[in-house]
Amino acid sequence: MNPGARLIVLGKQGAGKGTQAIRLSRHYVVPHISTGDTFRAAVRSGSEFGQKAKVYLDAGDLVPDEIVVGVVSERLTHSDTMHRGFILDGFPRTVHQAESLEKILEPRPLDLVLNLEIDTEHVLSRLASRRVCSDCGANYSVTDNPPRVKGICDVCGGEVVQRDDDTESAIRRRLELYEQETAPLIAWYSDRGLLVTMDALGTPDEVTERLVSEVDRRKASAAG
C-alpha cells in the first residue's frame, strides 16, 4: 500500500468534517488542511486579510474562489503535502474550486472523496452544541464531546466558545450555499469514480472506523 493519502472530507456543516479530518490526519500521518481553520486563524490575528475574511465568515457567505484557491494551492506546494499527501477539510466547496484543485494536483490525482451524510435536523442540533477553542481551533460539543474542564481547551488551555458564525442566520445561509454550490460536487466526484458516501451519525470513533476501513479497502484494491 502506498504511504500517505490524498483525501477530501466533504459534508454539510455539522457533519463532523473537522473532527474526522483531524483523526484521519493522525491515522495516516498526513497534514490536515482546513480552509475554515485557516480563515478563523486569520480573523484572530487581526491582519488585513483576516478583517476581510471576517465579513464573509460572519455572514455565512463563501470566501471568493480566487482567494481560497490561492491559499490552498500555496499550502499544497509545501514538501510535506507533496510527499505524504493531505486531508482537505472544507475545500473544495464549489465546482470551480474542484476544477482548480484537479489542475493543482496534476499529475497525481486524489485517492478518495469521503462524503459525510447527515440530515438537516441533526445538523441543527449539532451546531447548537458546537464549541471551538478560541486559541487553537479544536472542536468540541457540549453534549457529545465536552472539554474535560468546562470552557477550557484540553489541547492548549484556551477559552472554549461558540463560533462567531454559528448564529441562526449564518447557519441558514451556509445550508443554502451548501445546496447551491457544494452539493453539485457529489455528482462531480462520483462521475470521476472518487466518491464514497458514509453515514455521519454515530460516535466519532465509529465514524472514523468506517472511514478508515473504506480508505484502506480502496487503497488495497488500487495497489493490487
With CB under 6 A as the contact rule, the residue among 68, 113, 116, 211 that binds ligand ADP is 68
> Is 26 a catalytic site residue?
no
CB of 26 to Zn ion, least distance (A): 16
Cell 506546494 locates to: 77
**Rounded-to-integer distance, Cα 62 and Cα 36, Å:** 10
Residue 126 interacting with ligand ADP (CB under 6 A): no
Residue 188 interacting with ligand ADP (CB under 6 A): no
The DSSP code sequence of 50-94 is: HHHHHHHHHHTPPPPHHHHHHHHHHHTTSHHHHHHEEEEES---S
CB of 8 to ligand ADP, least distance (A): 11
With CB under 5 A as the contact rule, the residue among 42, 57, 68, 138 that binds Zn ion is 138
Report the site for ligand ADP in 137-156 (rule: CB under 6 A). Answer: none
Report the site for Zn ion in 118-137 (rule: CB under 5 A). Answer: 133, 135-136
The residues, ordered by sequence, that sit 6+ positions from 22 with a Cβ below 8 Å of its Cβ are: 32, 139
Task: Please check whether residue 132 is in contact with residue 138, taking contact to mean a CB–CB distance below 8 angstroms.
Answer: yes
Over the window 141 to 160, marking each residue x when it contacts Zn ion by CB under 5 A and - when it does not, the resulting string is: ------------x-xx-x--
**Of 62 and 138, CB closest to ligand ADP:** 62
**Rounded-to-integer distance, Cα 169 and Cα 115, Å:** 25
Report how far Cα 178 is from the mean position of its chain's Cα atoms. 13
Interface with ligand ADP by CB under 6 A: which residues?
A: 13, 17-18, 35-36, 39, 56-57, 60-63, 68, 90-93, 97, 174
